Chains A and B, each alone.
Chain A
Amino acid sequence: MTAFADAFHELRIGWRRRTTYAFAAFAIAALAPLAFGEARTADLAGGLYLACAAVGLAFAVGVAGLPSLAQGAFVAVGAVVAAHLLAAGIPLPLAAVAGGLGGSSAGGLVGYAFARLPRAGFAAATWIVSWLVAFMLQSITWFLGGSEGVVVGGGPTASGHYELALALTGLAALGYLALARSPIGLRLAAARDREAAAAALGVPVLRLRVVAVAASGAVAGVAGAFAVQLAGVGDATQYGPFLSFRLFVVVLVGGALAPLGAPAGILVLGVLSVAADFVGRLENVAAARAHTLLTAIMLLGIVSLGWEGIVRAPKRRRRAGPGSGPDRARPATLEARALGKAFGNVVAAQDVAVGIAPGRITALVGPNGSGKTTVLRMLAGTIEPDEGSVVVAHGSVARTLQATAVFPTLTPLEHVLVASAGRRSRAGLVRSLFSTPQARAEDAAYVAHARAVLDRFGVLHDVPAGELPVTDQRALMIAAAYATGASVLLVDEPTAGASTVEAARMTGLLRSLRDEGLALLVVEHNLGVVRRLADRVVVLDAGRVIADGTPDAVAADDAVRAAYLGRRSF
């Protein structure tokens, strides 16, 4: 009973005006079959199945930032699978599940193959996939019976399909919402904003993108399965690249960052098709053609106005609660021995040994081009050393990128949640989708922990990070690295371009992390800062370690003076 009371309480405090509107819209929409005839209702149901597929696409486009042009192909896969099963007498629900599995496998495959590409490449690849599937449906008659189609009988009435489609669209929208708010969605959004910075915080970018494309493919597959039953025939000509384009337009028009954007986009397209009928009759042009033209022209108009869609992204609120947040990092050491790395003929590092101990700050310094960044990237595991080894005893490593690499559209709170998501145990796909009590409790505990971390680093919680002052953005990236729970932090130029006051704030923060027992390596240009901050200094020149010791000892070293001759001395 208490679980229900809790859930009700949560629902009540989470309720907003937007939620009321959404519910009202669905309730009114559910009454539509009363007002329209059977044939019109069937059309509407078909439109809603499209809306459902578009909600899936909106997740890939909006949250993950992947311009997928293969959604129509995933719908086709669901339709083919379902058409064959239905023709063999399998009941509709099972066929729909199979269609969803087919769609998600196709999506997963496309994601696995192409999610590593830059966005332009991903768009090109998915576009070609769309064409390939269309050609396959036309030339391989086994799929959908070629020009004759596969006839699918039975199934619910048009009104039944309509209500089913409405419910399915609602479910897809709820799934979008749950996933977008979950650690999966947050980390995808971080990778969408800045891929390199997300990867540095330990976000498994590629894997999550595959999940995103597979999830959107699953929704497309289910929608395709139901839609082919509604149509009564699997028609190969229905699934061309134009379907993918139309779904993309729907998402763009309706808004990719809100779960109900896609249904709103479908509504606009529906109104447009009525207008196209009218224009077509006036100009004696087939309605389908007028429709395509109007869709294309409208899209051009909409995107050229910098339109962000009918339904905008909702404000995100997060509730903190009791419970166990992440544990504190255990003390750990990092030992690098005999590291070597060459890029072609250029030797960037040779026989470099660095040890990072808990409760100590080690500074890595050297003139420009001395190999600091290469060494840092080898320590972080971003690039493989040609020689030597990096050993981290019981703990993990996190790295911050130079200066301001925040995710501009995420709030500081979300930054910290992105970073700590890797430590969560109840934030998988299924738990996130169904928002289980355990997942919600863990969520609340991690939010509480994140707010505490932000207070400690002196950063505001709930404004877009892109609007923070630069000095807060630096503190935020270190806060995020800290929140990954790594015992070893690699900090790249924390004070580059900072004023004296800002530099003092950063050194204070780094000292407090050292006093907590973390092992820190700081790459720093400002030698004054190094002298005040570091317990130990490693000096690189031309890829080799030329000095290693306390700041004072290193400052007195002749080799170091020679390397820095003409530069600033200690």
Chain B
Amino acid sequence: MAVALQILASGFAAGTVYGLVAVGHSLVFRLTGVVHFAFGELIALGVFVTLLAAAGNEPVSQTSVAGARFLLALVVGLLVTAVASAGAYFLAIEPYRARGSVIGWVGASLAVAFAVRTLLVVFFDRPAYVFPDPLPFRHVADDGFWHVGGATIQVRSIFVAVAALVLAGLGVALLQRTRFGRALEAIAQDFDAAVLVGLPVGRLVGLAFALAGVWAGLAAILAAPSAAFDVDAAARYGLYGLLAAAVVWFDARRALAAGIALGLTQAAVTSVHLGTLELGAAYRDVVPLALGLLFFAWRARTTTEVFE
């Protein structure tokens, strides 16, 4: 029981962030038929620009940044992410999508991924970063941790999970209730028809790319103070999000659930002991990815109609 609670507590928060990234992947794929390989790196860009604006390139402690400055930094970071996401779409993806060249957009979006990653690694060359936390979770309960029924729960992770779910809800409302959302739905259903009826398709899709980046970037920034952070951590968000989105073939709602499932699997791998078998943190990437791929392969071979 304690183990289950522990898994739920530590896996759910990470899972909601994966889920939100997966929703971003789904939105992008539904609109353009393109897999956004640079998503994780663009999220990393948002997190690091926020860090830079909040605290400069000096080592920071969790408490060293005041709320107002952090808010300003957040705005700057998200703006940069939005511009970079939209820019990546117009410069690197749209030209090949228009030409129907799969090989072209695969290469181009990977090129964006590695270009952003290298730039980040050049400027942020310490192995791991502490991200400042403007919210005083460390004063809640026992230094920021609750002890419930034998499990230790980081109070912060509950905040992250709730915030990510609220973001997901806002996203759904935006897509279902607004003119912008209905226009995107039209583009997703028939790109050429949307062009024909006079929708400014290029601008709308660029905006959708930017928003997907902002949404996922915000979730990652909210989650960042929970643990040490580096470029690879953000790249993992992109990767897990892609896996979660792909196994449900880019269906946004199920992608959120698949992301949460991946997060829970990961937490299970790190905390479960079965008799003498203890997987531990070394397998926290291997096992979820392997299981996810197996599930993906099984679906790919049995339910072909889904994949259109």
- A residues sitting closer than 8 Å to B (CB atoms) are 61, 65, 67, 69, 113-114, 116-121, 123-125, 127-129, 131-132, 135-136, 139-140, 242, 245, 248-249, 252, 256, 285, 289, 292-293, 295-297, 299-300, 303-304, 306
> Is B102 an interface position by the 8 A CB rule?
yes
Question: How far is B100's CA from A306's CA once the two chains are assembled, in angstroms?
Answer: 12
Question: Once the chains bind, are B33 and A120 in contact (CB under 8 Å)?
Answer: yes
Q: How far is the CB of A313 from chain B (nearest CB, A)?
A: 14
Question: How far is B29's CA from A297's CA once the two chains are assembled, in angstroms?
Answer: 24
The bracket for how many chain B residues form the interface is 35 or more
Question: How far is B121's CA from A337's CA once the two chains are assembled, in angstroms?
Answer: 68
Question: How far is B35's CA from A127's CA once the two chains are assembled, in angstroms?
Answer: 11
0/1 per residue, B62-104, Cβ < 8 Å to A? 0000000000000000000000000000011001100100111
Question: Once the chains bind, are B111 and A289 in contact (CB under 8 Å)?
Answer: no
Question: How far is B108's CA from A524's CA once the two chains are assembled, in angstroms?
Answer: 45
- B residues sitting closer than 8 Å to A (CB atoms) are 29, 33-35, 37, 91-92, 95-96, 99, 102-104, 106-108, 110-115, 117-119, 121-122, 239, 242-243, 246, 249, 282-283, 285-286, 289-290, 292-293, 296-297, 300-301, 304, 307-308
Question: How far is B290's CA from A228's CA once the two chains are assembled, in angstroms?
Answer: 25
Q: Which residues of A contact B300 (CB under 8 A)?
A: 113-114, 116-117, 121, 125
Number of residue pairs spanning A and B whose beta carbons lie under 8 angstroms apart: 127
Q: Which residues of B contact A67 (CB under 8 A)?
A: 102-103, 106
Question: How far is B115's CA from A256's CA once the two chains are assembled, in angstroms?
Answer: 23
Question: Once the chains bind, are B115 and A131 in contact (CB under 8 Å)?
Answer: no
Given contacts A67-B103, A116-B301, whether A303 and B96 have CB atoms under 8 Å apart is yes
Interface centre among B91, B103, B297 (most CB of A within 10 A): B103
Q: Which residues of B contact A300 (CB under 8 A)?
A: 91-92, 108, 111-112, 115
Given contacts A124-B242, A135-B286, whether A289 and B118 have CB atoms under 8 Å apart is yes
10 intermolecular pairs with C-beta atoms under 8 Å apart: A61-B103, A116-B301, A117-B300, A117-B307, A124-B242, A124-B246, A125-B246, A125-B296, A128-B239, A131-B289
Question: How far is B40's CA from A408's CA once the two chains are assembled, in angstroms?
Answer: 37
Question: How far is B291's CA from A119's CA once the two chains are assembled, in angstroms?
Answer: 22
Question: How far is B95's CA from A100's CA once the two chains are assembled, in angstroms?
Answer: 38
Given contacts A123-B102, A132-B286, whether A252 and B107 have CB atoms under 8 Å apart is yes
Question: Once the chains bind, are B106 and A248 in contact (CB under 8 Å)?
Answer: yes
Question: Once the chains bind, are A248 and B308 in contact (CB under 8 Å)?
Answer: no
Question: Once the chains bind, are B35 and A249 in contact (CB under 8 Å)?
Answer: no
Question: How far is B79's CA from A471's CA once the two chains are assembled, in angstroms?
Answer: 55
Question: How far is B240's CA from A131's CA once the two chains are assembled, in angstroms?
Answer: 11
A300, closest chain B residue (CB): B111
Q: Which of B99, B114, B282 is the one whose CB lies under 8 Å from A296?
A: B114
Q: Which residues of B contact A135 (CB under 8 A)?
A: 285-286, 289
Question: How far is B95's CA from A306's CA once the two chains are assembled, in angstroms?
Answer: 9
Question: Once the chains bind, are A128 and B243 in contact (CB under 8 Å)?
Answer: yes
Closest 5 pairs (CB-CB, A-B): A113-B297, A296-B115, A139-B282, A299-B111, A135-B285
